[in-house]
């Protein structure tokens, strides 16, 4: 396979660049980069197809570093290959506002495909990238035009192997027969607590074989470049299974602490740095040294990648001549823009229309928009019949050999794997040709909180269809009734949490979620029927908050979301008849979007001078930003028919009215009542 002294020099350069970055920053993880430098060199200099001059080339091979703490390795590789990472950037490793942060972040650094950090997430992202490639190739490839055929490669370590989310994704990947996915397991037997024999002694290869993976073992990952390349090529030849290479390495190879936990997460000591450099023929006194011979080796491979892209562009040009519609669709998808006029398919409702559960409204919408949005690919965590996430003529994404679907299918059966579903959706979104959504109960989005957080941090467009959104799910009881979930995810930056109250609000939630290119969304949907509201329109709801029921000289504003908005509207009549109080009703289906409106608009919806009461069958945390008083559920729910549960907690017109009267009485003697929004604004200034 032609490995020379130049390759050995390159391996040691990668080891030392990574160690130098950690040493210079006085923080980081040198051990894994020093141990994985040989496989990294083989992959980036002999195997992978990429062009640093165009990091977004569609048919590039994808690389995911799931053990993201080892990112000094990835930054070193990107620098050598010619991506926009300079020696100065390596010197700025882990420093404020650098493009070489402490874990890889896709929106900060060219050449980083996905944001990894929490262990196991990157591996799941890689599964998503592999699914996206299979689907996209089935949709766009034609005879004579093998337009999309890239591989996804993933490095992962013992920590990723121990995380349950990786097991979920590995199981699904084996079922889906993702032959374009090759994972390389850094088997160095060390985690933060030391030798893995204290907690992790399973046979990983046997586990992955049982998942349906092809497996290879390379015993000498420290030196055997030929063996590493041969293993990767054997995996490439297996097209009906994902592949795992178990690579035995020595963490911190070359260090005095090699093979121990001491080199995992701390810089090498100065004396150790010097001895390592001297051992491999480098000047012990110098940091960040790259021999020209190594640059030449990498730039040669990068030039080969650029040439392959040129060939691909020529193929794409011919493809566009013969398959104009498909080429135009592909170009549009890569831009992130939606088809012109797609929004005309959004359902519109009037107050005279029947009451419908918002999960059903979501299903109606998906049935109307899916043909206009061919990039929309959905699924459910084994709750399809409850989430109503599958449109009528949907085809499942499945290996054709199983006879139950096709690679071009747009519906993914995730199984009972909420966390993996979330992380896989992040990978699907990162590929560039797919707009993913996934369904589960709102309560179980909490299972996937790690993936949701990375969606927001990564700035990817994914949509959670989160049904059974409150105590309104009834008989399943407190274990299934989400109380704290909305407060949790509303606190997450760059995450839109929608809780629509009717059909137009549901359409608005999807409109904003689908058109927001860099923000994930959670759409919380009811099991019980909801009435269509007066003054509800898509145009009103896309502002995140608006007045559902207006009144002159109102005594109080009732502010709510979802299924409780209709109850608040009923409370208006009760307040007038029994207490001679006039109430307004405001719906705020999405805090994030409402907060983005102008101060003038927000104060027109929640004006000064009127006391306000929030009503939501959830924790009241967060509502103090909008209302003077809060009525909700700061305890777990109860099991029973949903109407009985609502009555138990007084989430009824009578119960709301009782608290509205108390609010008016409390605030009537307080002069110059100000909206909490206005007070918060003044404090911020």
One DSSP character per residue, 449-473 reads: HHHHHHHHHHT---EEEEES-SGGG
CA angle 492, 494, 496 (to 5 degrees): 85
What is the average pLDDT across 216-226? 98
Read out DSSP for 581-617?
--EEEEE-SBHHHHHTS-HHHHHHHS-TTS-EEEE-S
Does the annotation list 635 as a binding residue? no
In order, the DSSP letters of 570-583 are: HHHHHHHHHH---E
Residue 476 annotated as part of some ligand binding site: yes
Does 386 appear as a known binding residue? yes
Q: Within 13 Å and on the Cβ side, how many CA atoms surround 527?
A: 20
The SS3 of residue 194 is: strand
Mapping DSSP to helix (H, G, I), strand (E, B) and coil, where does residue 309 land?
A: helix
At 251, list the tokens: 């963490």
Cβ count near 322 (within 10 Å): 11
CA separation, residue 267 to residues 99, 190, 397, 666 (Å): 20, 16, 46, 60
Is 118 known as a binding-site position?
yes
Tell me the DSSP string of 366-405.
HHHHTTT-TTEEEEESS-HHHHT-S-TT--BB--GGGSS-
d(CA 213, CA 536): 51
Per-residue confidence (pLDDT) for residue 671, from 0 to 100: 74
Q: What are phi and psi of 154, to 5 degrees?
A: -140, 130
d(CA 445, CA 487): 13
Residue 185, pLDDT score: 98
Tokens read off for 58: 């569609």
- 69 annotated among ligand-binding-site residues: yes
Residue 527 marked ligand-binding: yes
Whether the predicted pLDDT of 683 surpasses 80? no
Residue 672 has pLDDT above 90, yes or no: no
Residue 170 near residue 417, CB atoms below 8 Å? no
Residues in the chain: 685
Q: Note every long-range contact of 631-637, with CB atoms under 8 Å and residues 24 or more positions apart, other chains counting.
A: 631/655, 631/656, 631/659, 633/471, 633/483, 634/483, 635/483, 636/478, 636/481, 636/483, 637/471, 637/477, 637/478, 637/481, 637/483
What is the predicted pLDDT for the residue at 681?
57
Residue 186, helix vs strand vs coil: strand
- In 3D space, the residue among 545, 542, 631, 647 whose CA is nearest the CA of residue 595 turns out to be 545
CB contact set of 357 (below 8 Å; sequence gap of 6+): 525, 526, 527, 528, 529, 530
Q: Which residue has the tokens 């030849």?
A: 237
* Cα–Cα distance, 75 to 559 (Å, whole number): 49
Domains of the chain, CATH where assigned: 5-307 (3.40.50.970), 342-524 (3.40.50.970), 544-668 (3.40.50.920)
Q: How far apart are CA 335 and CA 432, in angstroms?
A: 8
CA 501 centroid distance within chain: 26
Average pLDDT over residues 71-90: 98
Looking at the DSSP bridge assignments, the partners of residue 63 are: 153
> What pLDDT score does 670 carry?
83
Whole-number pLDDT of residue 682:
55
41 is in an annotated binding site: no
What is the per-residue pLDDT across 605-621, written as a single tens digit (0 to 9) for each?
Answer: 999 999 999 999 999 99
Residue 1: predicted pLDDT: 64
Rounded to the nearest integer, the mean pLDDT of the chain is 97
For this structure, is 418 an active site residue? yes
Distance CA 40, CA 38 (A): 5
Q: State the catalytic residue, choosing from 105, 113, 418, 616.
A: 418
Pairing between strand 356-357 and 612-615?
unpaired
- Which pLDDT score is estimated for 170? 98
Task: Give residue-wise pLDDT tens across range 82-139.
Answer: 999 999 999 999 999 999 999 999 999 999 999 999 999 999 999 999 999 999 999 9
CB 115 within 8 A of CB 454: yes
Q: Is 188 annotated as a binding residue?
A: yes
| Residue 248 marked ligand-binding | no
Q: Per-residue pLDDT for 684 more than 70?
A: no
Question: 298-302: which pairs have CB atoms within 8 A and are 24 or more residues apart?
Answer: 298/10, 298/44, 298/45, 298/80, 298/81, 298/82, 299/81, 299/82, 301/44, 301/45, 301/46, 301/81, 302/50, 302/51, 302/52, 302/53, 302/81, 302/82
Cα 280-282-283 angle, rounded to 5 deg: 145
- φ and ψ at residue 635, rounded to 5 degrees: -160, 170
pLDDT tens digit string along 286-296?
A: 999 999 999 99
Look at residue 685 in the predicted model and tell me its pLDDT. Answer: 40
Q: What is the CA radius of gyration of the chain?
A: 28
Burial of 2 (0-12, 13-18, 19+ CB in 10 A): exposed
**Dist. CA 627–CA 610, nearest whole Å:** 10
The token duo for 646 is: 């609502």
Query: What's the CA gap between 662 and 666, in Å, rounded?
Result: 6
* Residue 214 in marked binding region: no
**Residue 531 labelled as part of a binding site:** no
The reply to whether 350 sits in an annotated binding site is no
Using the structure block, give the residue that is written with the tokens 């105590």. 471
CB atoms within 10 A of CB 625: 14
Q: Nearest 5 degrees, angle CA 96-CA 97-CA 103?
A: 80
Angle subtended by helix axes 121-140 and 324-335, to nearest 10: 160
pLDDT band at 669 (very low <50, low <70, confident <90, very high): confident
User: Would the annotation count 444 as a binding residue?
Assistant: yes
589 touches 562 (CB < 8 A) = yes
Tell whether 186 is in a known binding site.
no
Exposure on the CB side of residue 10, measured as CA atoms within 13 A: 27
Mapped onto helix, strand or coil, the DSSP state of residue 161 is helix
Is 595 labelled as part of a ligand binding site?
no
Q: Name 207's Cβ contacts closer than 8 Å, sequence gap at least 6.
A: 167, 170
pLDDT exceeds 90 at position 143: yes
């Amino acid at each position: 396979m032609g490995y020379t002294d130049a390759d050995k020099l390159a391996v040691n350069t990668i080891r030392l660049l990574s160690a130098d970055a950690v040493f210079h920053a006085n923080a980081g993880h040198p051990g894994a980069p020093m141990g994985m430098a040989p496989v990294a060199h083989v992959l980036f200099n002999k195997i992978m197809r990429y062009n640093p001059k165009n990091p977004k080339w569609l048919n590039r091979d994808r690389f995911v570093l799931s053990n993201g703490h080892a990112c000094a390795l990835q930054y070193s590789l990107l620098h050598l290959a010619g991506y926009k990472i300079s020696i100065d950037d390596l010197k700025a490793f882990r420093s404020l506002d650098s493009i070489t942060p402490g874990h890889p972040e896709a929106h900060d650094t060219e050449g980083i495909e996905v944001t990894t950090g929490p262990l196991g997430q990157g591996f799941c992202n890689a599964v998503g990238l592999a699914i996206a490639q299979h689907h996209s190739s089935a949709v766009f490839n034609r005879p004579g035009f093998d337009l999309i055929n890239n591989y996804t490669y993933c490095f992962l370590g013992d920590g990723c192997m121990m995380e349950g989310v990786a097991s979920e994704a590995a199981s699904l990947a084996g079922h889906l027969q993702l032959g374009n996915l090759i994972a390389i397991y850094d088997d160095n037997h060390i985690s933060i607590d030391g030798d893995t024999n204290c907690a992790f002694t399973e046979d990983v290869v046997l586990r992955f074989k049982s998942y349906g993976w092809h497996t290879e073992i390379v015993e000498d990952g420290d030196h055997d470049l030929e063996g590493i390349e041969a293993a990767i090529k054997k995996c490439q030849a297996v097209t009906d299974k994902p592949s795992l290479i178990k690579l035995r390495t020595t963490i911190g190879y070359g260090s005095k602490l090699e093979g121990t936990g001491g080199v995992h997460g701390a810089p090498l000591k100065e004396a150790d740095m010097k001895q390592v450099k001297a051992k491999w023929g480098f000047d012990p006194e110098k940091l960040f040294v790259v021999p020209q011979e190594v640059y030449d080796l990498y730039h040669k491979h990068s030039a080969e990648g650029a040439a392959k892209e040129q060939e691909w562009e020529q193929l794409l040009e011919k493809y566009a001549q013969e398959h104009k519609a498909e080429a135009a669709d592909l170009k549009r998808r890569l831009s992130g823009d939606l088809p012109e006029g797609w929004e005309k398919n959004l359902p519109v409702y009037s107050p005279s229309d029947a009451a419908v559960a918002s999960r059903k409204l979501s299903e109606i919408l998906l049935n109307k928009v899916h043909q206009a949005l061919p990039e929309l690919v959905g699924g459910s965590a084994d709750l399809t019949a409850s989430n109503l996430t599958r449109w009528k003529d949907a085809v499942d994404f499945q290996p054709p050999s199983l006879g139950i679907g096709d690679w071009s299918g747009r519906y993914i059966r995730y199984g009972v794997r909420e966390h993996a579903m979330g992380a896989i959706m992040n990978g699907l979104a990162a590929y560039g040709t797919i707009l993913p959504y996934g369904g589960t109960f709102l309560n179980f989005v909490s299972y996937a909180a790690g993936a949701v957080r990375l969606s927001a941090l990564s700035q990817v467009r994914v949509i959670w269809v989160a049904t059974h959104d409150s105590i309104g799910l009834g008989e399943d009881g407190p274990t299934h009734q989400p109380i704290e979930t909305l407060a949790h995810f509303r606190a997450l930056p760059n995450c839109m949490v929608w809780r629509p109250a009717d059909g137009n609000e549901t359409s608005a939630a999807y409109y904003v979620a689908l058109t927001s290119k860099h923000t994930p969304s959670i759409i919380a949907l009811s099991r019980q029927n909801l009435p269509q509201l007066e003054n509800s329109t898509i145009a009103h709801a896309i502002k995140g908050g608006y007045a559902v029921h207006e009144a002159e000289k109102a005594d109080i504003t009732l502010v709510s979301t979802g299924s409780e908005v209709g109850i608040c509207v009923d409370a208006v009549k009760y307040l007038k008849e029994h207490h001679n109080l006039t109430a307004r009703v405001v719906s705020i289906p999405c805090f994030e979007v409402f907060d983005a409106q102008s101060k003038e608009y927000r104060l027109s919806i929640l004006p000064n001078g009127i006391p306000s009461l929030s009503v939501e069958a959830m924790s009241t945390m967060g509502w103090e930003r909008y209302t003077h008083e809060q009525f909700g559920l700061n305890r777990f729910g109860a099991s029973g028919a949903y109407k009985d549960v609502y009555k138990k907690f007084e989430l009824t017109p009578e119960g709301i009215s009782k608290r509205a009267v108390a609010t008016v009485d409390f605030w009537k003697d307080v002069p110059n009542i100000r909206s909490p929004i206005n007070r918060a604004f003044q404090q911020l200034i």
